[in-house]
Amino acid sequence: MRMRKLGRTGIDVSAYCLGTMVFGKMGNPDHDDCVRMIHRALDAGVNFVDTADVYGYSET
């Protein structure tokens, strides 16, 4: 996995990011399937995960 520096922090992050918008009610509601996707990304060397709070489902 290619890595890149995160700004001036010195932290190396993967060049690819796992976006979690596809998890849950608005995407894939199958918990076990989502866990498999996370593990697959981790096994591939991904350490950059987008978990923006706007991805949460709200009925309000």
Among candidate residues 9, 20, 7, 14, the one with its CA nearest the CA of residue 50: 20
Report residue 51: phi and psi, to 5°.
-125, 40
The answer to whether the CB of 2 falls within 8 A of the CB of 14 is: yes
Active site amino acids: 55
